């Protein structure tokens, strides 16, 4: 159960958690045409706090809305400020932020008419997405029986609510079958992404991730690519197959919620040594240093705040 906080930002004002409600005829609830973000704030080594790449997440939120043709009644600066306000008012020195843009009530039927576009930003405490042990030891993954979106069926550059029906199907199936996460292939059969993460593989010190064609342009993915390049690794954005994943030395998922989660097994094949490999460990460790303000080279990625 998600733990209640004091307040949720809703259409420009802070309302008590229990009052942040909508009508059952909310358009997005029926047709899925809304967009959202997932953003993490971390407690820093110096005792302050920082939201990781906040401006980039809000930019992606507005891009997602643009792709779906939704006119957001707040600008980037207002939304950035609102996110920080939600953390502060709830006394959160760290936490997970969930901005959501959705179509409200009015017209029913697929065409949303001139229904209002509404915006909510909630925050809660979210620990390790796949469990503390997952971050340490790695997770077990299955290739899903569900294919990831085709670029002209769903808009893969948008973090759209409706896109996640595919994710829910895949995730529930994987968990029922005893796995931690589902890996999906694209419509051509190449590795795409997981239900809520991008994927990386490592072989002979070279790092590969899928091109952006069918996947969400992950902000963690982008951060890991920059970090890995800075650490001297070759980083390729290239299509790869599931058997290339099977024979990787290391593999890991990236995402705001999942952070850097090692993969120790895929479809009953052990990946590498069956535990977090050295490259994954290094990237994970350096990633955590960055988000906690321990690497001044990446200070521009942090939106600092005090509670």
Compare residues 197 and 250 and give the one whose CB is closer to ligand PPE. 197
**How long a stretch of residues is the chain?**
307
* Count of residues near ligand PPE by CB under 6 A: 17
Interface pick for ligand PPE out of 255, 262, 277, 293 (rule CB under 6 A): 255
Q: Per rule CB under 6 A, is residue 216 in the interface with ligand PPE? A: yes
CB of 306 closer than 8 Å to CB of 87: no
Q: DSSP string spanning 82-102?
A: HHHHHHHHTT-SSEEEEEEEE
| Chosen residue from 34, 95, 112, 218 binding ligand PPE by CB under 6 A | 218
**DSSP assignment of 101-116:** EEE-SS--SSS-TTPP
**DSSP characters for 182-236?**
EEEE-TTSSEEEESS-EEEEEETTEEEE--STTS---HHHHHHHHHHHHTT-EEE
Identify whether 159 is a catalytic site residue: yes
Catalytic-labelled residue, pool 7, 159, 171, 292: 159
User: Which of these ranges, 7-15, 20-28, 105-113, 194-202, lies near ligand PPE under the rule CB under 6 A?
Assistant: 194-202
Q: Could you say which of 7, 142, 221, 264 contacts ligand PPE (CB under 6 A)?
A: 221
DSSP label at residue 28: H
Alpha helices in the chain (DSSP H): 27-31, 54-68, 76-89, 132-137, 164-176, 219-230, 242-246, 278-291
Question: Which residue of the chain is nearest ligand PPE when measured via CB?
Answer: 38
Q: Scanning residues 33 to 72, which ones bind ligand PPE (CB under 6 A)? A: 38
Going by C-beta distance under 8 Å and a sequence separation of 6 or more, which residues neighbour residue 87?
41, 49, 51, 95, 97, 123, 305, 307
- Our finding on whether 149 is near ligand PPE (CB under 6 A) is no
Question: Which lies closer to ligand PPE via its Cβ, residue 103 or residue 225?
Answer: 225
By CB under 6 A, which span of 84-92, 192-200, 226-234, 269-277 interacts with ligand PPE? 192-200
Q: Which is nearer to ligand PPE, 63 or 136 (CB)?
A: 63
User: Residue 37: what are its φ and ψ, rounded to 5°?
Assistant: -135, 160
**Is residue 290 near ligand PPE by the rule CB under 6 A?**
no
Which token pair is 43?
Answer: 């407690």
For ligand PPE, the closer CB: 115 or 223: 223
Stretch that binds ligand PPE, among 17-25, 189-197, 277-285, 293-301 (CB under 6 A): 189-197
The structure tokens listed for 7 are: 């307040």
List contacts with ligand PPE (CB under 6 A): 38, 167, 193, 196-198, 215-216, 218-221, 254-258
Residues classed as catalytic: 159
């Amino acid at each position: 159960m998600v733990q209640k906080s004091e307040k949720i930002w809703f259409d420009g004002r802070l309302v008590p958690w229990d009052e942040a409600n909508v009508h059952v005829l909310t358009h997005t609830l029926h047709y899925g045409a809304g967009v959202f973000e997932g953003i993490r704030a971390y407690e820093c080594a110096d005792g302050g706090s920082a939201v990781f790449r906040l401006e980039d997440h809000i930019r992606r939120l507005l891009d997602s809305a643009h792709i779906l043709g939704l006119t957001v009644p707040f600008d980037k600066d207002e939304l950035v400020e609102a996110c920080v306000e939600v953390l502060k008012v709830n006394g959160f020195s760290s936490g997970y932020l969930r901005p959501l843009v959705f179509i409200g009530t009015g017209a029913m039927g697929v065409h949303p008419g001139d229904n209002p576009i509404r915006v909510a930003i909630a925050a809660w405490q979210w620990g390790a997405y796949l469990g503390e042990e997952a971050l340490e030891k790695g997770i077990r993954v299955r290739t899903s029986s569900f294919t990831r979106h085709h670029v002209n069926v769903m808009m893969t550059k948008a973090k759209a609510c409706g896109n996640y029906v595919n994710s829910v199907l895949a995730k529930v199936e994987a968990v029922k079958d005893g796995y931690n996460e589902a890996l999906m292939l694209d419509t051509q059969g190449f590795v795409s992404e997981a239900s809520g993460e991008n994927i990386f593989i490592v072989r002979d010190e070279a790092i590969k991730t899928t091109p952006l064609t069918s996947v969400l342009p992950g902000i963690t993915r982008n951060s890991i690519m920059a970090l890995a390049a800075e650490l001297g690794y070759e980083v390729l954005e290239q299509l790869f197959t599931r058997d290339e994943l099977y024979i990787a030395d290391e593999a890991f998922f990236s995402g705001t919620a999942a952070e850097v989660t090692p993969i120790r097994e895929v479809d009953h094949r052990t990946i590498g040594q069956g535990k977090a490999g050295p490259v994954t460990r290094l990237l994970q460790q350096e990633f955590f240093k960055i988000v906690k303000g321990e690497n001044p080279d990446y200070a521009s990625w942090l939106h600092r705040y005090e509670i």
